[in-house]
A = this chain, B = another copy of it.
Amino acid sequence: MLRTHNCGELNINNINQEVILSGWLQKSRDLGGLTFIDLRDRYGITQLAFNMETQSQLCTQARKLGREYVLQIKGVVKERESKNIKIPTGDIEILVSEIEVLNKSKTPPFTIENNTDGGEEIRMKYRYLDLRRNPLKENLMLRNKVGFEVRSYLHNIDFIEIETPYLIKSTPEGARDFVVPSRMNPGTFYALPQSPQTFKQLLMVGGYDRYYQLVKCFRDEDLRADRQPEFTQIDCEMSFVEQDDILAIFEGMTKHLFAAIKNITLSDFPRLPYDEAMRLYGSDKPDIRFGMQFVELNDLTKNKGFNVFDAAELVVGISVPSCASYSRKQLDKLVKFVQRPQLGAKGLVYVKCNEDGSFKSSVDKFYTQDDLQAWANKMGAQAGDLLLILSGETAHTRNALNELRLEMGDRLNLRDNSVFAPLWVVDFPLLEWDEDNNRWHAMHHPFTAPKPEEMSLLETDPGKVHANAYDLVINGVEIGGGSIRIHNREVQEQMFKLLGFTETEAKEQFGFLMDAFEYGAPPHGGIALGFDRLVAMFGGSDSIRDYIAFPKNNSGQDVMISSPSEIADTQLDELSLTVKKTEK
């Protein structure tokens, strides 16, 4: 080893030891007679000291070294005169006797500090330098730790990790596949998996009982800030289980992770049916760190002459604590917020519950103080609270009020990153109607089983059928989801038919799975958790990109290695492919 110790471990117990350290020059300070260098490695920072009087040559050499030079030094551990209690090595410094420059460094294009001066683009191009910064290093260390704890937990309860293939088959259902042309079979393509769904189900048919895998998945979608074309999933499946068994195991895993990673003991997770979640929060991934649950006011608001409410399918509001004092200007901002095109609410009705027991609302013309009192009562409002009420078509109104609720949560600092409120959303509908294409979509995926007691509705009223499908939601973020699967050929065929597959299409794409169901497929179900998102949540961030060593940008490019790029004509020839010229 080119060191006897790392830069994070020496302390008062090592005084007078001769040591060798290797690392990067973080910064140096010349204080006349003394020169100090902070030497950095993955483990920490150790201060090096040089004395101009007693070691003028060495000290002169040290003064010429630039930032990010790679040094190997030999020296003796000494107690510092002025200690730094902020770092573990702050009691000591190394009185250096030899320096070897292991490698030089050009001046980095941005500062390698916790807060850097580098913009996003330059940091992506020099990702290897950005990765030297503490925040990113801690993110990757966290990711490593979460991954290890996930594996330990599952390993200890008899789950086995089984690798499924990456070169699989393209199926047009769902998001777009990335495809891989086959040279040995010209004109044909593999696809990269969007998830190992069918393979894990086949493992259940194969008798493997408790499967897991931390696995890369791929989706060729137009990217948003929190999406990556390749992402990592904690993928799990179990046989001979019911929904409760799966929830218990993965609630256990989540609790284990919080204990191991954050030293937080979580209570049992509430379970909220999908319909309830929509009714109370207008979202299937509610942030329950704070209240402000929706209260429906249709019965109290109708037939008082206010046309907007009278015509509305839904009148629904939230009671915002201690905001009755909001000014006209503040209220106008909220109106603008809900009127943004993304939300598209027509207007916002407010009611101030004044401290003196009176009410002031934007609809005083139509409603008496008693009416408003009745609303306040139903909403459990206190004096000093502000009621915010939206109305209109149910789904749109709920969506807008959900955003407004989150906005108010932010304003009132009720969404604290160090507080964690997990829950299970359960009993999802099996199908959702796609207005644009006039067809049913699988809400989870086509392999999710209808609830057995609702099977008969599948023919008559498919929209009413629920599934034993569940999402794990933490702080308003969907961390994972899963379901009990179909394990019967006839039911799977019926499902494909409902989703608009012809018999030929179903057979061509998923015939192998339906065949497998005829050879003793056990009842089974599973879950997949977004590993990138889970780690980001532990890190207190929304951006998964900061928790991935080498992410792509929003155009799907890796600007560091300049990928994707053109390939040689010989490669195209071998693949029997031609690139079409596009007019631009």
Interface residues of A (CB under 8 A from B): 1-3, 22, 24, 40-43, 68-70, 72, 102-106, 108, 126-129, 131-132, 137, 140-141, 143-144, 147-148, 151, 155, 160-170, 172, 176-192, 198-199, 202-203, 205-210, 216, 218, 220, 222, 229-230, 232, 239-242, 245, 487-488, 512, 516-523, 548-550, 552, 555-558, 560-568, 571, 574-580, 582
Contacts and interface: CB of A to CB of B under 8 A. Distances in A.
A22 B487 CA distance: 15
Nearest to A220: B183
Given A43-B209, A169-B564, A576-B580, 13 more contacts: A2-B240, A22-B522, A24-B207, A102-B522, A126-B519, A131-B206, A131-B207, A165-B552, A166-B230, A167-B218, A169-B562, A184-B556, A186-B579
B172 A564 contact: no
Contact of A167 (B155, B178, B190): B178
Contacts of A216: 163, 166, 216
B144 A162 contact: yes
Nearest to A557: B185
A520 B69 contact: yes
B202 A128 contact: yes
Nearest to A20: B240
A162 B187 contact: no
Contact of A209 (B41, B68, B191, B519): B41
A550 B186 CA distance: 22
Given A41-B209, A522-B22, A550-B199, A579 B187 contact: yes
The 3 closest A-B pairs by CB, nearest first: A131-B206, A105-B520, A169-B563
How many copies the complex holds: the figure is 2
A3 B210 CA distance: 14
Nearest to A566: B188
Contacts of A192: 166, 180
Contacts of A140: 160, 162, 208
| Among A164, A181, A552, residue most surrounded by chain B Cβ atoms (within 10 Å) | A181
A566 to B, nearest CB: 6
A416 to B, nearest CB: 29
Residue in A128, A232, A548 whose Cβ sees the most chain B Cβ within 10 Å: A128
Contact of A108 (B137, B519, B564): B519
Contacts of A564: 167, 169, 180, 182, 185, 188-190
A207 B132 contact: yes
B22 A240 contact: yes
Contact of A245 (B1, B129, B556): B1
A384 to B, nearest CB: 50
Contacts of A222: 184
A410 B561 CA distance: 49
Contact of A170 (B126, B191, B520, B565): B565
A141 B161 CA distance: 9
Contact of A187 (B521, B548, B566): B566
Contacts of A42: 207-210
Contact of A240 (B1, B229, B562, B579): B1
A210 B3 CA distance: 14
Contact of A520 (B1, B70, B487, B523): B70
Given A163-B549, A166-B218, A168-B558, A70 B1 contact: no
Given A132-B206, A184-B556, A190 B563 contact: yes
A561 B568 CA distance: 31
A152 to B, nearest CB: 8
A160 B62 CA distance: 32
A517 B103 CA distance: 9
Nearest to A137: B207
Contacts of A167: 178, 218, 229-230, 552, 556, 558, 563-564
Contacts of A567: 170, 179, 188-189, 191
Nearest to A550: B165
A566 B487 CA distance: 28
A135 to B, nearest CB: 13
A289 B261 CA distance: 46
Given A203-B131, A576-B582, A579-B577, A562 B512 contact: yes
Nearest to A183: B220
A128 B576 contact: no
A208 B132 CA distance: 8
B160 A144 contact: yes
